[in-house]
Structure 1
Amino acid sequence: MSDTPAAQSPDPTASNGAPPVMFVHGLWLAASSWDPWREKFGAAGFSTLAPTWPGEAPTVTDTRAHADDQAGIGIDEVTAHFAEAIAPLGRKPIVVGHSFGGLIAQKLLAADVAAAAVAIDPAQIQGVKALPFAQLRSSFPVLGNPVNAKRSVTLTPDAFAYGFGNALDRSESDSLYDHWAIPSPGRPLFQAAFANFLPGSPAHVDTNVERGPLLILGGGQDHTVPESVSRSAYHRYHRAHTDNDYLVFPDRGHSLTVDHGWPEVADTVIEWLATKGFGAAVSH
């Protein structure tokens, strides 16, 4: 796997007996965007790792220069890639995912290779029928051209500002774009968009299987995964005899894992994990 050196294995100096935490990013943000989270979780006593996606280069610059390396990669390939990253750990990790990483986190939890999962603004799983206009508009730069299903796609700063940074000042959105935005495969977006029309869709998640706890977080101002989509995903678990929670950040957009307010989101996740018996909550 083409992980960055820091992402290949958990930090051996950070361990309090809790499972390691594996971070999974979504489309258009680099694996290194989790670096501040890794530092915070390390301070809370967790070991961490943040593998790159298949075809993603070790740095933002190299990924931008080799965009075609991710072309055609889909949900199943990404899920298998992260399951492979889990295998050497020797124990089930906690998986924290954002956007499509949130969908992957749910799939890994359902496959019983994760001890717990946190899905932040998760891409829609099969069965979610909410389709707000903002989501259609944010996905149009990709879904508007069917050829993009076989390509890697680079968002423009304007598209990033609408899909990720709409709850921010434009200057902050542009700064996040410059630091973290990378090209990503278009195929997962097509797979999720048409999941309800395709039996056996890779966006399917078994929501009624015995497994560890799940937290879904929604952003009330999110354009890419509107809060109604996150809430609908949570409702897919209403018949499950498992531990499922849902929380909303009403004023946050899709950038909530990387913008100025990310520490609040990270602290919320750490505190939720503490309530489930994983580690200890940090002090504010």
Structure 2
Amino acid sequence: MRAPDPSEMHFARGRMLAWDPPAPRPDAPALLLLHGAACGSWVWAEGFGARLAAAGHAVFAPGFNRGTPDRPAGLADYMADARAAMAALHRRVVLVGHSLGGLVAQRLLDAPEVAGLALLAPAPPEGLAWASWRLALADPPLWRAVARMTEPGGTVAEAALLRRALFGPGMAEAVALHHLARMGAESRLALLEAQAPQPVPPAWGLGRPLVVFGGRRDPLVPPDAVVRTAAWHAAPFALLDGMGHAMMLDLGWEALADRLAGWLEETYR
């Protein structure tokens, strides 16, 4: 059964997309999808959110407010955005966080509304500094292109490099460029803060279910960082062949959404 297109709802700190499940699963927690750097809630509207709704979940996707040039947003601001979105739902949620949104989700593990976490290529509790330095040494042009994602615009050469990092080799060029064109400037403050180790409580200590998915081709959050995140939380993980960093947009996103829906059904049956 296909889920309808998302509606838009307002909450205290902004707006979020919302998908109503055609056949709701009884007592299933809602899903709050938190996007990564340089993206927005639109990344979930390319099919991922609707597929999770079709599996019986109420799905919501807020956008982070990046602030202004004079007052850029930090991780605390992104956490406040997510907390306000949770408060507007008046129900328990599973946070589904991608990349920087995955780090925000981990920082919110102890929030009373959080029933669990699903992380997609998440920034790890150790911070991004190690992965960033390794990328700078291994692939300086890509590292510079990633660093420029905090700024508006970008060159054709940078787009080609980012395409290789974000998507697997099977992604059609036109589709990849369509997605890249929608990505925008990210808060330098939030990315700078994300380089450092984070005060992330382990999921096992809180009794919160958690699962981690990563892409084997991802140079931004490489497989070993995914494994360390899963180890910190004593959580199951899966590394998916052929997928880059933008997992919810890459080829094979349907299978990823179905694996996530299967984990949710098994965990919250």
TM-score for the superposition, normalised by structure 2: 0.79
Aligned mates of 2:171, 2:252 — CA distance in 1: 13
SS at match of 1:160: helix
CA shift for structure 1 position 29: 2.0
Q: Kindly report the root-mean-square deviation, in angstroms, between the aligned alpha carbons of the 2 structures.
A: 2.9
Corresponding residue for 2:210?
214
Match of 1:205 among 186, 200, 204: 200
Question: Structure 1 residues 40, 250: closer, same or farther in 2, change over 3 A?
Answer: same
Q: Is the 8 A contact 1:72 1:152 kept in 2?
A: no
Q: Is the 8 A contact 2:171 2:250 kept in 1?
A: no
Deviations along 1:191-246, one digit per CA (max 9) or x if unpaired, are 122x14xxxxxx320115314200011111101111111111112234xxxxx211
Aligned mates of 2:143, 2:70 — CA distance in 1: 18
Identity of aligned residues (%): 23
CA shift for structure 1 position 139: 4.4
Q: Is the 8 A contact 1:161 1:170 kept in 2?
A: no
Gaps of 5+ in 1: 57-67, 197-202, 239-243, 279-284
SS at match of 1:82: helix
Aligned mates of 1:104, 1:209 — CA distance in 2: 18
Corresponding residue for 2:7?
none
Q: Is the 8 A contact 1:31 1:50 kept in 2?
A: yes
Aligned mates of 2:265, 2:217 — CA distance in 1: 27
Q: Does residue 134 of the first structure (1) align with residue 135 of the second (2)? A: yes
TM-score for the superposition, normalised by structure 1: 0.76
Match of 1:15 among 24, 28, 32: 24
Corresponding residue for 1:33?
43
Question: Structure 1 residues 70, 88: closer, same or farther in 2, change over 3 A?
Answer: farther
SS at match of 2:237: strand
Q: Is the 8 A contact 2:215 2:245 kept in 1?
A: yes
Match of 1:225 among 191, 197, 221: 221
Moved more, 262-271 or 27-36: 27-36
Corresponding residue for 1:177?
180
Aligned residues: 246
Question: Structure 1 residues 76, 210: closer, same or farther in 2, change over 3 A?
Answer: same
Q: Does residue 3 of the first structure (1) align with residue 10 of the second (2)? A: no
Moved more, 106-115 or 264-273: 106-115
Question: Structure 1 residues 71, 228: closer, same or farther in 2, change over 3 A?
Answer: farther
Q: Is the 8 A contact 2:214 2:226 kept in 1?
A: yes
Match of 2:252 among 258, 261, 266: 261
CA shift for structure 1 position 14: 5.5
CA shift for structure 1 position 112: 3.8
